[in-house]
Amino acid sequence: MSRQSAIALGVAVLIGLIAVYLANAFFSGMQQRHEDVVKQTRLTKIVVAAQPIGFAAPLTNTNVELVDWPAASIPAGTFTSVADATKNRVALQPIVAGEPILGARVSGTDGRATLSVTLPRDKVAVAIPINDVAGVGGFVRPGDIVDVMLTRQIPGVGSTPEDKMTVVVLQAVPVLAIDQVADKDKTDPALGKTATLQVDTLGGQKLSLARELGTLTLALRNIATPAEGFASVVTARDLGGTGIRIARGPMMSGGLIAQAMTTAAVRLPPLPGIMPKLPIAPRHTGPVMSIYRKGVPTEYEVNHVY
């Protein structure tokens, strides 16, 4: 065999080996993909909602059912037995039809739909009094996000009931319930007397103290708007017109207090709670002269006598 033939044969063998390797890799990849598809399409039966289930509604054989579910995408906490899922359990949150029944969204076997079950571990529920105004006309409902504002008297010596300020106590607070309604699906406006809010321990302390200091008001917030952080304090001077005061005082005439009272508008510097004293005319003790006009006397002070 000539040298050129040997070289050609070696090249042919090398090309053949490369082709065999590539073909083997291709078919191995195809087999792996096929196994992955089979694994993903393997089905397991789990319990799902057969119809919409509302808050605190019991789970029964009529509103749940077993269905086939891809084994690779089964959520954690699902039930694989209808008997276990309906064992004296109620829904802690609304569940839509076809949604898997999760242990975190239903009660234990005691059948109690309590707020304490749905609270995160580092949160507490605190109730505050509201009315039709403080509750935004009844439009604050469970699931909304609110700011809590406190209106109270400004502390200090000389403070009057008119000296008030408003501060933001808490921002972006979730509403758990209005009165005894905790169902987030009930969005129709309704007037309530109490609002239960989800806060941390420090927030609960602030709300408890604020209840004793003044009037609390809820401000409905867009659920996607984050808290701004620091909020300024608003006083009467921020409303405008605080430099205007009404001062009333008697006028002296001939040593006697006149029956008519004069009213004067006095422009003062914006210092809340401080009223300047108006100057009082000195009492006249000298002679007076009476002039009659159509039978009506008018007294004039006589400052010089010639």
Mean pLDDT of the chain: 77
Per-residue pLDDT averaged across 143-151, rounded?
92
Residues with Cβ within 8 Å of 61's Cβ and at least 6 positions away in sequence, in order, are 82, 86
CA atoms within 13 Å, Cβ hemisphere of 119: 18
Would the pLDDT of 184 be above 80?
no
| Helix H or strand E segment including 281 | none
C-alpha to C-alpha distances, 14 to 10, 22, 26, 183, nearest whole angstrom: 6, 12, 18, 73
Least confident of 170-179, 244-253, 282-291: 244-253
Q: Are 89 and 110 in contact (CB under 8 A)?
A: no
How many angstroms separate the most distant Cα atoms in the chain?
A: 162
Q: What is the pTM of this model?
A: 0.52
How do residues 79-121 score in pLDDT, each as one tens digit?
999 999 988 888 888 899 999 999 888 887 766 666 676 778 8
Helix, coil or strand: residue 29: helix
How do residues 6-60 score in pLDDT, each as one tens digit?
777 777 777 878 888 888 777 777 777 766 665 656 888 899 999 999 877 889 9
CA atoms within 13 Å, Cβ hemisphere of 283: 4
Encoded tokens for 304: 């010089």
Query: What burial letters (b/e) apply to 48-68, b meaning 16+ CB within 10 Å?
Result: bbbeebebbeebeeebbbeee
User: DSSP string of 116-149?
Assistant: HHHS-TT-EEEEEE--TTTTGGGT--TT-EEEEE
The larger pLDDT score, comparing residue 226 to residue 173, is at: 173
